[in-house]
Amino acid sequence: MISKPYTFLFIGRSGCGKGTQAELLKKYLEENDKRPVLYVYAGEKMRKLIEEEKSFTSQLTNKIMLLGNKHPDFLAVWAWSNELVEKFEENMHLIIDGSPRTATEAIILDEAFKFYKREIVVPVVVDVSRQWAKDKLFKRRRADDTDERINHRLDYYEKYVKQAIDYYDEQSKNRIIRINGEQTIEEVHQEIMQKVFND
């Protein structure tokens, strides 16, 4: 029995499988509770900005993406906050896939959750080694993925995402759960179920 609406944040290295786990959790919530689930993926919103718009912002965003550099925090915040403002309702479960990516973003997310009076916020870190993630990224390599770009994405985690994780460990009232991502997809899912729902 799921008594209250949950908020989940999926955090981890590129290639760790967080998107797959977020989708499995969404399916579980839809099958086991009557509340709707809002699934937010800021990366998709950013891609749409680049592909569908011809604005100055989209041009600059595209240049940053092509170089494999970090987008400014304000754009990441825009991507998920826009979804919340337009689609979020009081009694929904919320899953945010791939955010926060920086400590600044994590602080603003906490501010948003306070505004929305979210009582249960669960940052989920899908924990894999750099080498494990690198092997996965090379195997699934997208058309525009070069060796340099893959390494750059993995460097990004060390430089920025770890600071967001440190924020949850040291300052936020929302406590992280760490999941061993170096298991089968089903084993990772089961570990999440056990640690979140004792299921």
C-alpha 2/C-alpha 121 separation (Å) is 14
pLDDT reading at 181 higher than 90: yes
How many domains is the chain partitioned into structurally?
1
- What is residue 10's predicted lDDT score, i.e. its pLDDT? 98
Identify the domain containing residue 89 by its residue range. Answer: 6-197
How does pLDDT run across 46-105, given as a tens digit for each residue? 888 888 778 999 999 988 887 777 889 999 999 999 999 999 999 999 999 999 999 999
C-alpha 106/C-alpha 76 separation (Å) is 11
Q: Which string of DSSP letters, residue by residue, matches 61-128? A: HHHHHHHTPPPPHHHHHHHHHHHHHHH--TT-EEEEES---SHHHHHHHHHHHHHTT-SEEEEEEEE-
C-alpha 92/C-alpha 139 separation (Å) is 36
Please check whether residue 25 lies inside any domain of the structure. yes
Please check whether residue 161 lies inside any domain of the structure. yes
C-alpha 98/C-alpha 12 separation (Å) is 7
- Model confidence pTM above 0.75: yes
- What is residue 67's predicted lDDT score, i.e. its pLDDT? 75
- Report residue 190's pLDDT band, with 50, 70 and 90 as the boundaries: very high
Please check whether residue 84 lies inside any domain of the structure. yes
How does pLDDT run across 129-179, given as a tens digit for each residue? 999 999 988 888 777 677 888 888 889 899 999 999 999 999 999 999 999
Radius of gyration of the chain (CA): 17
Structural tokens at position 97: 């896939």
Q: Which residue has the higher pLDDT, 12 or 54?
A: 12
| CATH number of the domain within which 149 lies | 3.40.50.300
C-alpha 190/C-alpha 118 separation (Å) is 24
Please check whether residue 45 lies inside any domain of the structure. yes
Please check whether residue 1 lies inside any domain of the structure. no
Three-state DSSP class for 3?
coil
C-alpha 109/C-alpha 107 separation (Å) is 5
**Quick count: other Cβ atoms within 10 Å of Cβ 73?**
17
How does pLDDT run across 106-132, given as a tens digit for each residue? 999 999 999 999 999 999 999 999 999
Please check whether residue 136 lies inside any domain of the structure. yes
